[in-house]
């Protein structure tokens, strides 16, 4: 029984590892689709982690922000270029999805413009 559970767990892990791997496998059907990108960002006492996020123009990007502390000032998230402003309740994952349209750097910050992060968008 224990062995079976372990092998199931292993299978699940393999599935996760496979699906989250970069789409470099030439045999994958996913290569023909535009795979949405999903990045988790922790908002801690000193800012965002990671504070720099890679994205691609034309590919939907979902950022999942979770604020993990009441210290600091991460209660509000602003992505000015996308006209996005969200409250980040403590320990609650907040998803922000948009599709960057052109290459360049998109800045994100806290509501008072103290915390600082960047989304680096490469061309299509």
Of 3-11, 37-45, 52-60, 66-74, the segment contacting Cu ion by CB under 5 A is: 66-74
Binding of Cu ion by 73 (CB under 5 A): yes
- Kindly report the backbone phi and psi dihedral angles of residue 81, in degrees, each rounded to the nearest multiple of 5, phi listed first: -60, -25
DSSP 25-75: -TT-GGGGS---EEEEEEEETTEEESSEEEEETTS-EEEEEEE--SSSS-S
Binding of Cu ion by 110 (CB under 5 A): yes
**Of 93 and 112, CB closest to Cu ion:** 112
Binding of Cu ion by 112 (CB under 5 A): yes
Residues 26-65 that bind Cu ion (CB under 5 A): none
Which residues bind to Cu ion, rule: CB under 5 A?
73, 110, 112, 114
């Amino acid at each position: 029984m224990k062995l079976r559970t372990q092998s199931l767990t292993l299978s699940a892990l393999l599935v996760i590892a496979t699906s989250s791997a970069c789409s470099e496998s030439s045999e994958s059907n996913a290569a023909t689709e535009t795979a949405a990108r999903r990045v988790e960002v922790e908002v801690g006492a000193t800012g965002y982690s990671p504070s720099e996020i890679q994205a691609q123009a034309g590919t939907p990007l979902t950022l999942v922000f979770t604020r993990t502390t009441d210290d600091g000032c991460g209660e509000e998230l602003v992505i000015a270029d996308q006209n996005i402003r969200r409250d980040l309740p403590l320990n609650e994952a907040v998803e922000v999805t948009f599709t960057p349209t052109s290459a360049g750097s998109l800045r994100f910050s806290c509501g008072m413009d103290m915390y600082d992060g960047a989304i680096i968008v490469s061309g299509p």
